[in-house]
């Protein structure tokens, strides 16, 4: 059975192309930061948890604003149709 969250390469490329340049830069920077964090930190400490919580907060804000934008676009599309 196929994973319902699975997206093809084409779908992911389309979604990436729809993002603004600042949104892409945020995702790229967070990806780099998370990879560096993973490579450097092999144990859990309060400082490490604070860093990860900061990444999580930033991603949460980004995802919420992206979701709002998608909902707005869908509503606009429904009004046009």
pLDDT value at residue 80: 56
Provide the token pair at 45: 């400490």
Q: Pick the more confident residue, 15 or 79.
A: 15
Q: Alpha-carbon distance 35 to 47, whole Å? A: 17
The predicted-structure confidence for 15-66, as pLDDT tens digits, reads as follows: 888 878 887 888 788 777 777 776 776 666 667 677 777 777 777 777 777 7
Confidence of residue 4 (pLDDT cuts 50, 70, 90): low
Cβ-proximal residues to 53 (8 Å cutoff; 6+ apart), any chain: none
pLDDT at 81: 47
Q: What are the boundaries of each domain within the chain?
A: 22-80
What is the token pair recorded at 15? 């979604």
Angle ∠(41,33,45) on CA atoms, nearest 5: 30
Distance CA 12, CA 15 (A): 5
């Amino acid at each position: 059975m196929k994973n319902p969250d699975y997206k093809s390469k084409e779908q992911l490329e389309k979604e990436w192309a729809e993002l603004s340049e600042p949104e892409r830069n945020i995702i790229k920077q967070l990806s780099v930061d998370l990879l560096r964090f993973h490579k450097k930190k092999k144990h859990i400490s309060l400082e490490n948890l604070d860093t990860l919580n900061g990444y999580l907060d930033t991603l949460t804000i980004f995802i919420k604003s992206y979701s709002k934008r998608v909902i707005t676009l869908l509503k606009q599309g429904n009004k046009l149709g």
